[in-house]
Amino acid sequence: MNSRLLQLLITIPFLTSFNGATAWAEEPTTTDPPPKVLPAAPEHDLVAQVCTGCHVPETVVARRHTAEEWDDIIARMVDHGAMATDAQQDQILAYLVRFYGKSLGQ
């Protein structure tokens, strides 16, 4: 098989996987400008430490979620190996809801 064709066949799925990774991101439903990625707050360093060990900040906050959804996401990430105590998980939840939360009606 032609080596350029083989390289192309290997590259296409790789590139489309990145495109799909961002395609699910929603636009915020408010008219307020979105906060900068991981805005300054008392919990900032904790969120950066725990969440960006596996994700770039833009991935962490690509979608807005309700408090319940964020809580479920945090629990799932801890199940996958994120290291955070219960108190730290509460702080992360408060931060994400404050800056990237949405109400149930959105």
More confident residue, 29 or 61: 61
Whether residue 16 is contained in a domain is answered as: no
Whether residue 95 is contained in a domain is answered as: yes
Token pair of 40 as six digits: 């300054």
List the one residue out of 90, 91, 33, 23 whose CA is nearest residue 63.
23
Whether residue 42 is contained in a domain is answered as: yes
Which alpha helices (H) appear in 1-106, and where do they start and end? 3-23, 44-51, 57-60, 67-79, 86-100
Whether residue 79 is contained in a domain is answered as: yes
Q: How many domains does the chain have?
A: 1
What predicted TM-score, i.e. pTM, was given to this entire model? 0.64
Whether residue 68 is contained in a domain is answered as: yes
Instruction: Report whether pLDDT(28) > 70.
Output: no
pLDDT band at 84 (very low <50, low <70, confident <90, very high): very high
Instruction: Report whether pLDDT(18) > 70.
Output: no
Lowest mean pLDDT, pick from 21-35, 45-59, 73-87: 21-35
Whether residue 25 is contained in a domain is answered as: no
Boundaries of domain holding 103: 36-106
